[in-house]
């Protein structure tokens, strides 16, 4: 295949668990190559491992792909002319090619019990040999195996790997890889229940779906020679293979966890796409950051639009070395993308998070608040704790000690609030008037602005850290501000 031909790529997960960012990175690279070349991005579900198959994981996968904007052209739910797009719906197809391999002498039936296989494997390891099968049933004549199968004896079907020589495969990222055939096992192609293994189904499916490029994690590189033998035995031209670098944990000392963990301070280290979504990461930021976990356009460009990444993506610039996941960098990306949104767009993104936190926010009020917090947000989920005091008539009880500024005493607080109330009662509630009035009031009392503002902020917001004071007061409105100051003064007098 030439570089300018439309690529047909597939993302083909085995849904046994939730959609992990490692899988999302693979799906993203598939999507980028398909869009760049004007090809097709196909979603196929590999569900032959029925013991571990999880229907909830399929729903999670589809939702995660859609959240990231990785819409597929063919496959599960989308349909297409190469279906079915789940492996359990393709069993008749696999039987056809199993028979072809058996008839041509490239595969054989294995009748060994699980107990014998375990004993052989144990003996090989004790003898210092590689674990695997001793090819006992490979020596059986085909007529005998056919008779035993016809009699109902349980069997698997194994690949007949050449006993000598070597095979060289080419990887688009790592170049040529040569493996001695003696290092390869006669892999099981069909399990005793008639269900194909990954090794067999993936080769048949990729060929029949006319896949041009296979991108998958580097842990599958060791399987590539087996798959190459299958392509050769079936007389098929293999697609371009690219084994993507592993994603390391933030410490760079091992693979990124498949489970979500918490730091000593209780903060969550998410790994599932749905958790990133729930925490308030933007799909634009995730898309941009994920693209850079193993790929780069050059040595300096980081922030790119979806269209720019599509136009610039190349397998040639995918790094063979592992890339470490960096939560701090992702948070930085997310903050940048939040600040790039219009106030209207950010308001619409914040509204579900605010309401999910139990705040009965209306869009018109939130639209006024959003500019006050936009520069301070890293995650959309952070908005609720920053703006909860805007909604509801009265504040929940707060610690009165928060009212007292540094270098002042609790006795200094009531005069400050009384002065502020008198000023606020007579001025307009807009930014400029509030700024001028409160600054002058602080000066009249011989206080620094921060010393004067802290009691006002705490009395009206219930917290020391809140959005910018003038804008906050303007949104709260004169009636609410004066009432809250009066309530605080009443608490202090008690």
Contact by Cβ (8 Å): 198, 46? yes
- Closest residue by Cα to residue 334 from 277, 286, 300: 286
Q: Name the DSSP class of 20.
A: B
CA dist 468 and 60 (Å) reads 39
Does 277 participate in catalysis according to the annotation?
Answer: no
CA dist 79 and 162 (Å) reads 39
- Closest residue by Cα to residue 25 from 219, 289, 333, 312: 289
CA dist 172 and 240 (Å) reads 7
CA dist 340 and 432 (Å) reads 26
CA dist 208 and 239 (Å) reads 11
* 6-11-15 Cα angle (round to 5): 165
What DSSP string runs through 455-485? HHHHHHHSSSS-S-HHHHHHHH-HHHHHHHH
- Closest residue by Cα to residue 31 from 56, 52, 53, 8: 8
In angstroms, the Cα distances linking 176 to 14, 172, 219, 232, 399 are: 28, 9, 16, 17, 68
DSSP-derived 3-state class of residue 324 = strand
Active site residue: 191, 258, 419, 448, which one?
A: 258
CA dist 420 and 423 (Å) reads 5
Q: What is the residue whose two structure tokens read 């990222």?
A: 173
Active-site residues, by number, are 258
């Amino acid at each position: 295949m030439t570089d300018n031909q439309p690529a047909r790529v597939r993302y083909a997960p085995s849904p046994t668990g939730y959609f992990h960012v490692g899988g999302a990175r693979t799906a993203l690279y598939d999507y980028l190559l398909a869009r760049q070349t004007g090809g097709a991005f196909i979603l196929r579900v590999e569900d032959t491992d029925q013991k571990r198959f999880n229907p909830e994981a399929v729903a999670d996968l589809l939702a995660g792909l859609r959240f990231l904007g990785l819409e597929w052209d063919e496959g599960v739910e989308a349909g297409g002319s190469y279906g079915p797009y789940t492996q359990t719906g393709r069993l008749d197809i696999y039987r056809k090619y199993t028979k072809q391999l058996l008839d041509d002498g490239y595969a054989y039936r294995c009748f060994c019990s699980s107990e014998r296989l375990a004993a052989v494997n144990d003996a090989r390891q004790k003898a210092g040999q590689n674990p695997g099968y001793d090819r006992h049933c490979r020596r059986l004549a085909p007529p005998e195996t056919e008779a035993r199968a016809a009699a109902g004896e349980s069997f698997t079907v194994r690949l007949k790997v050449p006993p000598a020589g070597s095979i060289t495969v080419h990887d688009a990222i790592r170049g040529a890889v040569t493996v001695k055939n003696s290092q390869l096992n006669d892999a099981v192609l069909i399990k005793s229940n008639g269900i194909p293994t990954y090794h067999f189904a993936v080769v048949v499916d990729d060929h029949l779906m006319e896949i041009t490029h296979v991108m998958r994690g580097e842990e599958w590189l060791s399987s590539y020679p087996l798959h190459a033998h299958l392509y050769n035995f079936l007389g098929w031209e293999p697609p371009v293979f690219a084994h993507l670098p592993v994603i390391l944990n933030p410490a760079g000392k091992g693979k990124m966890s498949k489970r979500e963990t918490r730091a000593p301070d209780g903060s969550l280290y998410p790994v599932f796409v749905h958790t990133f979504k729930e925490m308030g990461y933007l799909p634009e930021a995730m898309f941009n950051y994920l693209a850079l976990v193993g790929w780069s356009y050059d040595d300096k460009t980081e922030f790119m639009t979806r269209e720019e990444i599509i136009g610039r993506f190349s397998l040639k610039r995918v790094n063979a070395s592992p890339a470490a996941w960096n939560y701090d960098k992702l948070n930085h990306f997310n903050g940048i993308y939040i600040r790039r949104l219009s106030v209207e767009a950010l308001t619409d993104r914040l509204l579900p998070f605010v309401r999910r936190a139990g705040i009965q926010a209306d869009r018109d009020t939130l639209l006024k608040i959003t500019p006050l917090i936009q520069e301070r947000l890293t995650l959309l989920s952070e908005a609720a704790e920053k703006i909860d005091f805007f909604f509801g008539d009265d504040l929940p009880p707060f610690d009165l000690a928060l009212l007292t500024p540094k270098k002042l005493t609790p006795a200094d607080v009531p005069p400050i609030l009384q002065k502020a109330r008198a000023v606020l009662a007579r001025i307009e509630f807009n930014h400029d008037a509030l700024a001028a009035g409160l600054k002058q009031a602080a000066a009249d009392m011989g206080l620094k602005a921060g010393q004067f503002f802290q009691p006002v902020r705490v009395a009206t917001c219930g917290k020391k850290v809140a959005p910018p004071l003038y804008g906050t007061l303007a949104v709260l409105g004169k009636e609410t501000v004066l009432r809250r100051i009066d309530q605080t003064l009443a608490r202090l007098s008690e």
